[in-house]
Amino acid sequence: MSNKIVKEILDWIYAIVLALIIAMVIHIFLIQPTRVSGESMEDTLHNGQYLIVTKWHHIMNEMPNYGQIVIIDSRVNRARTWVDDVEEPLMNYASVFNKAAQTNDVWVKRVIGRPGDVLEFKDGYVWRNGEQLQEPYTKDTKMNYTRSTSVTVPEGHVFVMGDNRNHSSDSRFIGPVPVDHVLGFVSYAI
DSSP one-letter code for 167: G
Helix, strand, coil abundance in the chain, percent, nearest 5: 30, 25, 40
- The Cα 118–Cα 152 span in angstroms is 4
Packing angle of the helix pair 82-97, 3-29 (nearest 10 deg): 100
Residue among 176, 151, 147 at smallest CA distance from 74: 176
Q: Check if the beta carbon of residue 12 is closer than 8 Å to that of residue 73.
A: no
Catalytic residues: 40, 109
Q: Check if the beta carbon of residue 97 is closer than 8 Å to that of residue 50.
A: no
Based on the number of CB atoms within 10 Å of its own CB, is 67 exposed (0-12), middle (13-18) or buried (19 or more)? Answer: exposed
